[in-house]
Amino acid sequence: MLKLALIYGGKSSEHSVSCVTALGVHEAIDQEKYEIIPVGITSSGRFVLEPVNPQWQLDGWPKVSEDSPELLMPVGGGELRMAATGMSLGKIDIAFPVLHGLNGEDGSIQGLLQLCKIPYVGNGVLASALAMNKAIAKSAFRDAGIPVAKDLVITRADWTSGRERILKQAAKFLSPSCFVKPSRSGSSVGVTKAHDILELEAGIEEALGHDNTALVEEQVVGREIECSVLEHPGGELQVSLAGEIVVAGEGFYDYENKYLGSGAELKVPTELSSKDLERMHEFAIKAFRAAGCSGLARTDFFLTKKGLVLTEINTLPGFTPISMYPALFAATGVSYPKLIETLIARGLELGNEPR
C-alpha cells in the first residue's frame, strides 16, 4: 500500500477552504490502495498530524489545531517523523497538497516537497508561482496570443509614495466600474468592485492588505465561463465541457458566492456554440502550456461580443462539493474518484524532479 500525505490548511486567508477541500479529496481516495497520512498546516505555519474531520463545513470556518502533534518534514529525503518522539510514519510515496493561497498554490509547498524528494500531485514550482501572480501571468498569456483584460499594476511602494497620481491613472478604468484585486490571492479574497473614486481608493487599500501588489482591471462584460484541464499519465491533456457562473443582480463571483452558495448559479455544463467551445479549449490548452502547468488547472474566461477573454488560470482549484473543477469533469464523464486517481497517477509518473 502506498503512503499518501494529504497536505491541507496553511498560513493563508484560505485556510478553511483548504480544510473543506481536504475532506472532499480524502473521501474520494481509494483507501484500499493508499494509506492516507493527514498533514495539517496550522495558521501559524506548523506542520502537524491531524485527521480530516468528516464534520467540517465551510460556514463553520474549520481550522487545523495548534495543539496537534508536530511533524518533521524529511528535507533531503527520508521518512516523515513525529517531532516530539522521532517516531517514523514511514517514507511518503506521493503527496497531495490541497493548499490554497499564499504558501500553498504559489509554489512554496511544491519546492519543499522537491527538497524532501517526495513526488506530488499537480503543478510544479514555476507554474504555481506564475499563475498565482496575476500580473506576471497576464504578461505570459499576452505573449502566447491569448486575449486578457487591460489593467494597471500598483505596488505598495508606489501607492505609498504617489497615491494621488496612481488614483488619477486608476480612475481611467472607471467606465463605469472596475475591479481591484491582489496580484497574489485566490478564491476572490481581497477582490472588490469599484464604482467611484472613493470605492477605488478603498479597494486598492484592501488589495494591498493581502499582497504587496494590486491590479486595477477594466470590467469585461460578458458571460463568465470556465473549463477544467486534466493531464493524464503520458502527458495527454483532456479539457472538460464549459460551465457558466450566473451572479444575481450587480454582484460578482466573490468568496461568499463561491463557497457559501449565496447569489450565484453554476450551470454545469452550459450551452456554447461548437465554435466558441472549440476556441475555449484552444485557449485553455495554450494557457496551460504558457504557464508550464502539469496535472490540472481551471481556466476562467469571459465570453464577450468580441470573443473570449481569459481571466485567469487556477493551478489548484477547489475540490469542495460545489466547486467547478470536479463538477465540470463529472459532466464530461470523469467521476470524482477517477479524477483523483488520474491526478495521483500523473504525480507518481512525474516524480520529484522539477516541473
Residue 157 burial (10 A CB sphere; 0-12, 13-18, 19+): exposed
Q: What's the pTM?
A: 0.89
In this structure, what are the phi and psi dihedrals at residue 29, rounded to the nearest 5 degrees?
-75, 140
Q: Which residues fall within 8 angstroms of residue 234, CB to CB, at 6 or more apart?
A: 349
**pLDDT tens figures, 94-149:** 999 999 888 888 999 999 999 999 999 999 999 999 999 999 999 999 999 999 99
Contact (CB, 8 A) for 263 and 249: yes
Query: Hey, what domains does the chain have and what are their CATH numbers?
Result: 2-120 (3.40.50.20), 130-147+221-350 (3.30.470.20), 151-218 (3.30.1490.20)
Cα atoms found within 13 Å of the Cα of residue 85, Cβ hemisphere only:
5
Contact (CB, 8 A) for 225 and 205: no
Q: Which residues fall within 8 angstroms of residue 162, CB to CB, at 6 or more apart?
A: none
C-alpha cell at 262: 449565496
Query: Is the predicted pLDDT of residue 30 greater than 50, yes or no?
Result: yes
C-alpha distance across the termini of the chain, in Å: 26
**pLDDT tens figures, 42-94:** 999 999 999 999 999 988 999 999 999 999 999 999 999 999 999 999 999 99
Contact (CB, 8 A) for 33 and 8: no
Distance CA 131, CA 283 (A): 15
**pLDDT tens figures, 216-262:** 999 999 999 999 999 999 999 999 999 999 876 555 554 554 554 55
